Structure 1
Amino acid sequence: MSIIGWWKNTTVGARFDINRRSAFVGEDDWGNRYFEEKKEGPKDSTLPGRKRRYVIYNGPAEPTRVSADWHGWLHHTFDKPPTEDPLLKKAFETEHQPNMTGTIYAYRPKGSIARGEERTKTAADYEAWNPDA
């Protein structure tokens, strides 16, 4: 928890406000906590007749760490949170993974400078285009 650093975690003021105005709904596998306001928005608001929904991230604010079922609930696609009505997963679906770009777990293809490897030469059957040929 921080007083001013919203990009690393939720500020003290935001936590106080969310806990005062909202009810805890659930927590996901990554420790993110989800809340819904106790009162519906006024008719002239951006969410007329709907309750605002919030996520407090466990760690840095990284939206890709929100799984599809919680994302759907946050954006009012689903009325019930995944704790009450879990999203059915298809056999071909894999577990949700957050975006690893910029971390040590990011994908680095063969020959990438980030891997520290020497780039392999092109295949012998490759012939570069030559405008004079």
Structure 2
Amino acid sequence: MGILQTIFTWWDGATFGTRLGLSGKSRMGEDDLGNLYFEGGKDMHGRPRRWVIYKGSNDASRVPPEWFSWLHHQIDDVPDRALPPLRGWEKPAVPNLTGTALAYRPPGALDAGGERVRATGDYEAWNPEA
């Protein structure tokens, strides 16, 4: 990332001002996606302030649920210490796929061909005279 992009853009990672503002704050951890989490200072309610620095584009759906709960003070300690380990049947978090080739397109959607399955015999159209 070039120095000018770091100074002036906010949508693709932290700006220079954000990085400068995090000096003196404690780095609390990193998630599987490479996002960094920081804590320091107090908010207006007396709780510690918490930040996420995204690796890549700034998209809030890229914060895993366990770190979301830490950021929003639902748990006090970092997820590695406060939460039990993931169970084998739990799936990893997936970011919002809207607008990508992997987005869900139901049958009948224009992007999925526009053809939907014909209604079965259990459907009867509404008629105003009925």
Contact 2:50 2:71 in 1 (8 A): yes
User: 27, 48, 56: which is aligned to 2:30?
Assistant: 27
How many pairs align? 126
Q: Whole-Å Cα distance in 2 between the matches of residues 89 and 22 of structure 1?
A: 28
Q: Does 1:108 align with 2:105?
A: yes
Higher helix share: 2
Deviations 1:14-49 (A, max 9, x none): 11221x131211111111111111xx42xxx5132x
Q: Does 1:120 align with 2:123?
A: no
Q: Secondary structure, in 3 states, of the residue corresponding to 1:9?
A: coil
Segment of structure 1 superposing worse, 88-97 or 5-14:
88-97
The aligned residue for residue 46 of structure 1 is 44
Deviations 1:70-107 (A, max 9, x none): 11111222221123334444676432222212222111
Gaps of 5+ in 1: none
Q: Whole-Å Cα distance in 2 between the matches of residues 131 and 85 of structure 1?
A: 59
Gaps of 5+ in 2: none
- Cα shift at 1:110: 1.1
RMSD value over aligned CA atoms?
2.3
Q: Whole-Å Cα distance in 1 between the matches of residues 71 and 106 of structure 2?
A: 35
Q: Whole-Å Cα distance in 2 between the matches of residues 101 and 115 of structure 1?
A: 14
Matches within 5 A, 1:1-133: 1=1, 2-18=6-22, 20-37=23-40, 40-41=41-42, 45-48=43-46, 50-89=47-86, 93-133=90-130
Q: So what's the TM-score if we normalise by structure 2? A: 0.80
Contact 2:76 2:82 in 1 (8 A): no
